[in-house]
Structure 1
């Protein structure tokens, strides 16, 4: 068994696609209309184009907004992405105007930072010390 697709609930798929590709650096994999405004919209790491896909899933379900709002209010990231250097990514993204709710913080063997994805989620970036 392996993880094939995971998702993040987004309030605007077009805005999410721009953020997750232009800012975070993911690559669009699938963009399939589902009728109406919703699409099957996935991105992948440019380092592994056949790897795990991230579905930019519309957050139209009535439970999505209260769930996401509660996580943000409590400062809890919805998901986490690994990076080679949290501080370098923090500086790069800050220069692009990304808002962080947690600056790079060393927590034992890991360094983390938390950013706002502009689509209703907090996202944590992390790297393990060598």
Structure 2
């Protein structure tokens, strides 16, 4: 599933840049692992690899490109049993807003009153 999502993102980037030419395209797909790399002449550079560890897949990758404004953009990520996690991003990801006071009070109450078994 995670592979499909990442592959769909890759295709979206490729189709958004229809005039781009492929400089390098490599792929290796096995039953319990995969890896691929794609480099286009419009600055898009994508690498991803994954392997099955028991019942779970662990997928690592990075993507880089230059925005229409000329700003270099890059993302490094991992997807595993904990979900999709950005390890590094340039420009940095925005800081999420603070938790509203009412929500924080509710979370504190729930933590102080765990459900009875």
Give the TM interval when normalised to the shorter protein: 0.3 to 0.5
Higher relative contact order (CA 8 A, sep 6+): 1
Higher relative strand content = 2
- TM-score when scaled to structure 1? 0.33
Please tell me whether Structure 1 or Structure 2 has the larger radius of gyration of its CA atoms: 2
- TM-score when scaled to structure 2? 0.36
